[in-house]
Amino acid sequence: MAIYLNDVSRTFGEYLLIPGLTTKLCVPSNISLRTPLVKHKSGEMPAIRLNIPFVSAIMQSVSGPELAIELARNGGISFIFGSQPIESQVEMVRKVKKFKSGFVVSDSNLTPEHRLSDVLELVKKMGHSTIGITDDGTPNGKLLGLVTSRDFRPEKDDHNMKVKFFMTPFEKLHVGKVGISLSEANQIIWEHKLNTLPIIDENQNLAYFVFRKDYDSHRENPYELSGSDKTLLVGAGINTRDYKERVPALIEAGVDVLCIDSSDGYSEWQQETLEWIKKEYNDNILVGAGNVVDRDGFEYLVKAGADFVKVGIGGGSICITREQKGIGRGQATAIMDVAQARDEYLKNTGIYIPICSDGGLVHDYHMVLALAMGADFLMMGRYFARFDESPSKKLRIGNNYVKEYWGEGSNRAQNWQRYDMGGTESLKFEEGVDSYVPYAGKMKDNLAITLGKMKATMCSCGAVTIEELQRNAKITLVSSTSIVEGGAHDVILKEQT
């Protein structure tokens, strides 16, 4: 007969946190939500550490470049969806990496002999209003001038006018020399009230731009997640079919971390993918794997080389894997089981493997429960799909605004690679639905509310870090009656005006 597990498969909604001692240190301003993204030796820093424990789901309706930029600016990371041609995914990654705080390599350049029509076309194509004018029109040619939106009037000026007649010439520019520090460059910008400072080498060749807006952006986003080169960090989803072509292209584009995207990650396909990447790149490329729901799946992927493991099958709001295939596990039970395996692995090897909770989050307090149960960070789709920055359309239905949200297991996504079982290239049946989510506005505003709730909950638990929360949190099962008791009851609510 089959192996029968006696434990009940439970969800986050069946638990509550018991308050701990709230010390004077437990105030929201002292709460740290920093958490490791990838494996590391005990006592050492991971290669990537998130400033908030959020990553966005590997979904067409969630993780495009705009959302990836905004999430990284706020301390998390996105995994650009892989259910698209390699070329378009690569371009999305490049777009995030080009959104750079610090020294920016110019990707909008012309020569003095180009015309205003060329300027207008380049602005429309690249979306940048600052154009470097070099002798050969390349990013590193000899700098001869600069064109910004203040140098021309499209509605009045002759579109055939050559750039050399309206650009700001080199002799009128303030410039910095290669080797200058970012703080020194920003000081020049401040002193001379500039928007852009070109950085040149000893031969007057353009090397970089430094922009005032990047300095202002960093001040407005103190938790920004960026690398040593000041580029925002970004991840990308891959599958177990075309990884030998997709992975090299993503690495060349500058991707910081990869994740194998699958509804069921406990497979030899993922093992082969992990082992190929680790061997091909001498274990220098960070790659997560999943999804799994028990210690067996966790240990299998860790042995294959996974840098983090994603946990959750069937718990997503648009996922119907459990209905269709009858596989999965309650998200709370899955997290606790895998977290215990992770802790035992740490004790035996001295290596910490972060785990990601993917799915099953209904309320904001569920996020704290997932972290308390052992998750290091949370992957969310529905939460991020509601925002302006997600790729899906904003629609009005009745008196309400909504955004489209569809699963990678739906026919709309056509993501058959995610359900790879070695067969033909088709999606035999759907494991996800096509739906709407209520429109919520800008990410930053909503994140502030969610993170505020999480910090308040952690204060009540007497924990100022996620590590403390995992060590000291007290969690209790609740009955169906106490769930009802937890909301407004036995009153007539006033209508909101």
Task: Write out the catalytic residue numbers.
Answer: 319, 418
d(CA 381, CA 405): 9
**357: nearest Cα among 438, 448, 291, 271:** 291
φ/ψ (deg, to 5) at 490: 60, 25
Instruction: Kindly state the greatest CA–CA separation across the chain.
Output: 85
Q: 479: helix, coil or strand? A: coil
> At which residue do the structure tokens 């309650």 appear?
330
d(CA 97, CA 107): 12
